[in-house]
Structure 1
């Protein structure tokens, strides 16, 4: 910690938020894979001993409750769902590291999902309920305590992504499906209300505005990103255009969609999007292997360039995670992107690559993606989902090999403390050895024969 910052704060020269942001931002930039493991007890026979298995067939979705930041939900490719308590390590593994066991789990049955989970979301105002979507065409409402489905909605098409507004009380679930229209489910009435037509292909992603409860954004295989006002009969407000760096949307008359059929946000399917906390920007991801940041007031492409390392393929959601702005200096937002076998950490508005987060075994065995085909790249170790833990500087990632990884800060000071502790341990062992040798020499001189003491 910066001593000068502490002095300035103690004398009142700087606001306490400056010190708070400075300290927290150092932690955000110091995330490392932790040793904690998530294990479902019954690992498959061919599982490697060094990797705990959360879902045998792979983990497709993660979410953490935003009230306590304590309970993590994970959804598997085998349709299973597990609930984990992040503050209660149930067991200790053979290597001495903490290991979590699920508080409860749901496996594939005739009453549950029949195919893989695509998305999990906690209820917006109460963590005692959550929603799940699946490739089996259904969206289900569960009780978090009993892990039992209380309602099920059949949308008659694959559900790739679902979204709940974090602020609205209308309780509408926006569903991105194979159908070229956004489907809305009303949790109060228990029925599918109306659809929002406009896309010409399957919809892969959708997200509600965090500041305007009736505004929704959606992305589809046609490469377009559209904005909707669900209160309007026409619905569509406009589309984003990757060639527009000025902002036609902001100058257009309300409700105008002129040129929307030609406007493309990406040169390929759009399968990921997230709003910034203030609702002023939208981040989108597409199969053209680009991440774009948009001004939502004008619809302008900010032209942030994230470089050539971005990878994106498949129809499954690829949703970035934004670090909470209260942990960062002003106008220095950070985005984490699930880039197949690694997580890329970028500065949001400039696209500057800050770090590449990889698990330890990836450093020991560098991935040979250059010689593999695009469809084969990173199949087993692919990062499938990310989740930020509320009230903490912690990131969690889901992987296609069935594991969940916790990323926690490890600063230079932490490394120094660990090194000092290791040195003290080695010195203590050396001191014991020397004492043992001295005692053996003394008794050998006194008794005329060598006596050893193995337990000292």
Structure 2
């Protein structure tokens, strides 16, 4: 890092290059942050906390006692974290208070105070306790967010009170939903147990229409985040393009403006992108359509259910994950499989939707972002264009136990500690993860480790310079000795 600082001081590199270099170091220094914990209690009570039993204090460090199903962080401030439990409970936390609480509590106690929710809701629906399946902030205003749950409902909530202001029954279990971050329309795409993608219009508060084509439950959906779909589609067309993954192993692309909305199906056997730009037919005969996606009904993206799907920020690529324990990268302008190999370390057996996340695009250079994948009991960071594993974040198991099993063996809340979901905090190098044991864990750069590496690097450079100086002096001495020896020989 010192070389970058020196080069910046001399003007050899730009400020952006220095920023990218430092951001890269921060990303690779991500480690568990055990001092950041979350409580399900409504707020700190110092007197009560002093009188509480040790067992009660242990339970106070759990965000949702039944397990955390989903989390989401607002994209504007990166301050408000939403969490949803397996018991239909909701909570919202102020992440800005994390550093203040940690700093004040660590000075007087070895056990820092947890983050308490600024608002909480024991149950979304008082008459049921069905767990939440997905949470997402309204993309244009962090004062509202959407939720889906096993109670068959899609709801719109206020971020201040968490109370639902709008609710619609979908008549089947919704697994996931998505709102376009760029579109002028207010269509919510919902993946449900029914094989058709449901579109709900927030303006009218009713289901708009469905997108039939899948033959299994729809487990993942995502709108294109770029209006031009990576520069390959006409201006403004990208906001209407949707991708969906199903339990039948297919990933379908849709243009919701069209009467026949299906653009085609991604094929893992196609590494070329057959038919792009040739104006292929749009009939049902299996020919390619005008955008090059195959309309072959037998084409599969994965051998097994597709429960993970995410677009790159520029809309040029789509990343999908399936129960075949493969992550695939697709060129969205051609529909081609880029044949990126992520190796045998990927694990994906969850029945729920599992969505990977990207590090911000502008931080470490376009195309060099890290893709973070929730790999059951760990988080994997990949260079997504090469499939190279760059980071492996192990989940620290909780030491708290709920009781004793046969023979007095401690029984934990959930020995698997499975990662249920990930969320990136905007404007910060921080990841938050939801876990089946009821905890929300934070991952932050370990600055101390960076400083130690820096010192080791400086010591190594200093030692190299000392060795070079010693060699130079030794060479000069040998040269002087040789010249004196030659003169003595000539004189004799």
Match of residue 281, structure 1, among 314, 317, 331:
317
Aligned positions of 1:27-426 closer than 5 A = 27-34=26-33, 35-41=35-41, 49=58, 52-89=61-98, 92=105, 95-108=110-123, 110-111=125-126, 114-211=129-226, 212-248=238-274, 250-251=276-277, 252-254=288-290, 259-361=295-397, 380-411=416-447, 414=450, 416=452
Q: Distance in 1 between matches of 2:127 and 2:274?
A: 46
Contact 2:29 2:449 in 1 (8 A): no
- Taking structure 2 as the reference length, the TM-score comes to 0.77
Relative to structure 1, is the Cα distance of residues 389 and 109 closer, same or farther in structure 2, using a 3 angstrom cutoff?
closer
Match of 1:243, SS state, is coil
Shift of residue 410, structure 1, vs aligned partner = 0.9
Q: Which has the larger radius of gyration?
A: 2
Partner in structure 2 of residue 438 of structure 1: none
Q: Distance in 2 between matches of 1:152 and 1:276?
A: 31
Partner in structure 2 of residue 451 of structure 1: none
Relative to structure 1, is the Cα distance of residues 48 and 105 closer, same or farther in structure 2, using a 3 angstrom cutoff?
closer
Relative to structure 1, is the Cα distance of residues 112 and 189 closer, same or farther in structure 2, using a 3 angstrom cutoff?
farther
Tell which deviates more after alignment, 326-335 or 290-299: 326-335
Contact 1:163 1:175 in 2 (8 A): yes
Match of 1:139, SS state, is strand
Contact 1:249 1:300 in 2 (8 A): no
Partner in structure 2 of residue 446 of structure 1: none
Match of 1:327, SS state, is coil
Match of 1:4, SS state, is helix
Shift of residue 313, structure 1, vs aligned partner = 1.4
Q: Distance in 2 between matches of 1:20 and 1:249?
A: 41
Q: More helix by proportion, 1 or 2? A: 2
1:355-378 per-position Cα deviation (integer Å, ceiling 9, x unaligned): 210133489xxxxxxxxxxxxxx8
- Taking structure 1 as the reference length, the TM-score comes to 0.83
Shift of residue 336, structure 1, vs aligned partner = 0.5
Relative to structure 1, is the Cα distance of residues 123 and 249 closer, same or farther in structure 2, using a 3 angstrom cutoff?
farther
Q: CA RMSD in A?
A: 2.6
Shift of residue 414, structure 1, vs aligned partner = 4.9
Q: Provide structure 2 residue ranges, at least 5 long, that are not aligned to the other structure.
A: 43-51, 227-237, 278-287, 400-413, 456-492
Partner in structure 2 of residue 26 of structure 1: 25
Q: Provide structure 1 residue ranges, at least 5 long, that are not aligned to the other structure.
A: 364-377, 420-456
Relative to structure 1, is the Cα distance of residues 361 and 402 closer, same or farther in structure 2, using a 3 angstrom cutoff?
closer
Contact 1:236 1:255 in 2 (8 A): no
Relative to structure 1, is the Cα distance of residues 51 and 107 closer, same or farther in structure 2, using a 3 angstrom cutoff?
closer
Match of 2:432, SS state, is strand
Match of 1:99, SS state, is coil
Shift of residue 12, structure 1, vs aligned partner = 2.7
Shift of residue 329, structure 1, vs aligned partner = 3.5
Partner in structure 1 of residue 484 of structure 2: none
Shift of residue 331, structure 1, vs aligned partner = 2.8
Shift of residue 326, structure 1, vs aligned partner = 1.4
Contact 1:318 1:338 in 2 (8 A): yes
Partner in structure 2 of residue 447 of structure 1: none
Q: Distance in 2 between matches of 1:190 and 1:114?
A: 24
Relative to structure 1, is the Cα distance of residues 109 and 405 closer, same or farther in structure 2, using a 3 angstrom cutoff?
closer
Tell which deviates more after alignment, 327-336 or 195-204: 327-336
